[in-house]
Amino acid sequence: MPEGAKLKRIAMVVEFDGREFHGWQRQQNATSAQAVLEGVLACIEQQPVQLTAAGRTDAGVHAEALLLHADVDAARWHRAPRAYTQGVNRLLPDGICVSGVRGVAEDFHARFDCLERRYRYRIWNRSTPSAIHRWRHWWMPCPLDLDAMQEASAYLLGEHDFSAFRASGCQASNPVRELRHIGIDRHGMEISIDLHANAFLYHMVRNIVGTLIGVGRHRWLPARMQEILESRDRTLAGATAPAHGLYFTDARYDAFSARDIVGVEGE
């Protein structure tokens, strides 16, 4: 990029298969989605490009619509916005793609301006595993009581200290989060658990799902969820659900969401 060139801030939506990457965030000794995408953008921009995401994903977790922001050459953006979708995708490896892009204000911030993050956890619930969905769902061969799981999930709604559901390596200084929605639905053999919150703690979704499975298998009564929440004790909650059943599905802002941008290639 020529010295003194003007920059344009853009929002990008990325989709990736969690099996191919050691999470979103750049790692020193492992392949991350962030490093791969920044490398391709650097080739296009002819200088380093730093991406900031609405949230992080662990190794093995998938993303359907993770929103990022980047500062790119303004002239190129106005001349050929498709360079940041079709052009980037031609250089990316299998398992990751940019699904949409739009211009945003210069002070827009993908992380700090995000009002709500959304995740979905997928469970394959039948006595035999699926060859097709093996790395897309958590296989659960035993019956699950969805009514009990939904009753238990209601205790988590609202603003709470979610210490009982965060991993020991969580670096958040404040464990209080507002969980705004939990929906549990079955479609054939698939059970989906949707969770919406202002933000999530490290492994919070996977630990909640693991605990809901305990309720669904009648290990605990639904009211046990409130006891676990109020205890703030991680050892009382269920096991951490596997990463490969989890998807980052949307990031919501004042004027748009990540899913609104999918398929968009300009302002």
| Mean pLDDT computed over every residue of the chain | 94
Share of the chain above pLDDT 90, in %: 88
pLDDT at position 170 over 90? no
pLDDT at position 77 over 90? yes
How many other C-beta atoms lie within 10 A of the C-beta of residue 93? 11
Maximum C-alpha span of the chain? 64
The pLDDT value given to residue 4: 57
The pLDDT value given to residue 134: 86
Q: How confident is the model at residue 27 (pLDDT cuts 50, 70, 90)?
A: confident
Sign of the dihedral through C-alpha 202, 206, 212, 217: negative
Compute the average pLDDT of residues 205-230: 97
Please list, residue by residue across 38-54, b when 16 or more beta carbons sit within 10 angstroms of its beta carbon and e when fewer do. Answer: bebbeebbeeebebebb
Written as six digits, the tokens of 244 are 């490969």
Asked if 261 contacts 66 with a C-beta cutoff of 8 angstroms, the reply is no
Compute the average pLDDT of residues 71-80: 95
Compute the average pLDDT of residues 225-249: 97
pLDDT at position 92 over 70? yes
Asked if 220 contacts 180 with a C-beta cutoff of 8 angstroms, the reply is no
Q: Exposure of 158 by Cβ count < 10 A (0-12 exposed, 13-18 middle, 19+ buried)?
A: exposed
Q: Point out the residues that are catalytic.
A: 58
Q: Domains in the chain, ordered, with CATH?
A: 7-113 (3.30.70.580), 116-250 (3.30.70.660)
The pLDDT value given to residue 201: 96
Compute the average pLDDT of residues 170-189: 94
**pLDDT tens, residue by residue, 108-140:** 999 999 999 999 999 999 999 999 988 899 999
The pLDDT value given to residue 28: 80
Residue, of 3 and 235, whose pLDDT is higher = 235
Q: How confident is the model at residue 3 (pLDDT cuts 50, 70, 90)?
A: low
Question: pTM value?
Answer: 0.94
Strands 190-197 and 158-161: unpaired
